[in-house]
Amino acid sequence: MIVVTGATGNVGRALVDRLTAEGRPVRALTRDPGRAELPAGAEVARLDLSRPAALFDGASKPSRLFLHVQATGDRTEAVLDAARTAGVQHVVMLSSGIIKEGADETHPIHAWHAGIEKLVRNSGLTWTFLRPNAFSVNAFQWAPQIRAGDTVRGPFEGALSAPVHEHDIAAVAAHALLDDGHAGAVHRITGPEAVTTGEQIAAIGRAVGRDLRFVEIPPHEAGKLFPHVPPEMLQPLLKSFEASVGVPPEITTTVETVTGIPARTFATWAEDHRDDFTA
């Protein structure tokens, strides 16, 4: 059985969909099973981090764990201990592309993910790290403005990234969970092409059939666009965006190398999520 934490997140949901479609036994862990709306083939269970051993109780020979660290947070070590006791053999961790050679190790996002990677390395389990860079779903931050009108305001129109579709991350995760040869691997994951913030807005506009206009605002006015980002993370995040203006991003072929299928473009992601910008 494959135990999936963060099963109703963007990547987790795509992973559960993929695994159940292939007939794989899945226990999908979520804080609110009643609202999960996951495939009937998945065993949906409550993510109760106060009782980590219970996450694996009764699971049929649990042997793989997908670890979404935003779901397990400061209880990650206890979850790993419980997984090992329950017979889990391999963990695939959704980490962050911010961890790379020469990176600023004091950056709070780097420090947090690196700390959890260390826990995984020391857990006694074999592991695979997924280190995606920019997620295409980050564009959901623009959805309220796009629903309200044709003008989108934000910082750093020229910030460059290679956003990756959540389904491509899930596809790499599925191969890392199911195939041999991924133990000890670090998979850096990106989309196939560089796009600016302004180009992302234009792609969403084409998907919804509207001519959207981006208006750049000063960084100090951008905090309201990121209401769920902790205050201590906001300034480092904005500095990262600023540093990417006009700078070509890292682009990897990991998705195609691992899955055999090229990574989806941001334009494809926008078409896939058209309804999220019009509902």
Query: Is residue 256 situated within a structural domain?
Result: no
| 23 and 113 share one domain | yes
Query: CB-based contacts of 276: which residues, under 8 Å, 6+ apart?
Result: 140, 143
Query: Is residue 228 situated within a structural domain?
Result: yes
Domain that holds residue 99: 2-132
Predicted local confidence at residue 223, as pLDDT: 81
Predicted local confidence at residue 102, as pLDDT: 85
Read off the pTM.
0.95
| 151 and 110 share one domain | no
Total domains, the chain:
2
Query: CB-based contacts of 239: which residues, under 8 Å, 6+ apart?
Result: none
| 44 and 155 share one domain | no
**pLDDT tens for each residue of 212-233:** 999 999 988 888 778 778 887 8
Ranges in the chain, pLDDT < 70: none
Task: For residue 44, give the CATH number of its domain.
Answer: 3.40.50.720
Alpha helices in the chain (DSSP H): 10-21, 69-72, 76-86, 108-121, 143-148, 166-178, 197-208, 231-243, 254-259, 266-272
Predicted local confidence at residue 222, as pLDDT: 82
| 13 and 117 share one domain | yes
| 87 and 26 share one domain | yes
Query: Is residue 183 situated within a structural domain?
Result: no
**pLDDT tens for each residue of 27-72:** 999 999 999 999 999 999 999 999 999 999 988 777 999 999 999 9
| 7 and 95 share one domain | yes
Query: Is residue 105 situated within a structural domain?
Result: yes
| 32 and 97 share one domain | yes
| 120 and 233 share one domain | no
